[in-house]
């Protein structure tokens, strides 16, 4: 019983050791540029990544692979790049939905899922991707078109030559 009190301070002061997050020392980095934004995407997979791109229409991140072997694919994505309500993403590997594990913090989400040998495409689908069409641009277009319609209907002498 006396040795329990001796170990208690050791466990309390070393609690940070048990709270550390998992790191992946063999991770690679892909630099994705979307408009004026640059994103550093860290990943681990037994494959060559040939391309990554955002598809704004399907709200997804597309990843092209080659020389893929059976492996776990671990990828860390910023919420600004792609996000989903309630972390309800859909991940497709060669158009087949796969199960995944997700770990999120305030800045990013880390996905882990299996890719079989010969896989060529991964698609991570969310509910928001960059670039979202900014509301200010839509508002500006509405104002501009409204102004043109008003000036042509009023038939001001400004347009007469």
For 140-149, what is each residue's pLDDT tens digit? Answer: 777 777 777 7
Domain range annotation of the chain: 22-132
What pLDDT shows up at residue 147? 76
- Give me the architecture of the 22-132 domain, per CATH: Sandwich (2.60)
Give the C-alpha separation, 83 to 66, whole Å: 26
Tell me what the pLDDT averaged over the chain comes to.
80
Higher pLDDT, 96 or 147: 96
What pLDDT shows up at residue 119? 95
Give the C-alpha separation, 105 to 133, whole Å: 26
**Omega within 30 of 0 (cis) for the link into 147:** no
What pLDDT shows up at residue 133? 52
């Amino acid at each position: 019983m006396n040795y329990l009190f001796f170990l208690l301070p050791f466990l309390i002061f070393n609690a940070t050791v048990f709270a550390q997050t998992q790191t992946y020392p063999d991770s690679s980095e892909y630099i994705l540029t979307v408009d004026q934004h640059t994103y550093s995407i860290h990943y681990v997979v037994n494959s060559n990544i040939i391309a990554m791109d955002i598809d704004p229409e399907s709200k997804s991140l597309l990843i092209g692979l080659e020389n893929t072997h059976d492996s776990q694919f671990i990828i860390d994505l910023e919420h600004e790049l792609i996000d989903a309500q309630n972390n309800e993403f859909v991940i497709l590997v060669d158009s087949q939905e796969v199960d995944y594990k997700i770990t999120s913090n305030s800045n990013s989400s880390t996905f882990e899922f299996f890719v079989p040998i010969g896989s060529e495409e991964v698609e991570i689908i969310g509910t928001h991707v960059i670039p979202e069409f900014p509301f200010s641009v839509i508002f500006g277009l509405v104002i501009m078109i409204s102004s043109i319609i008003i000036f042509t209907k009023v038939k001001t002498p400004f347009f007469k030559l």
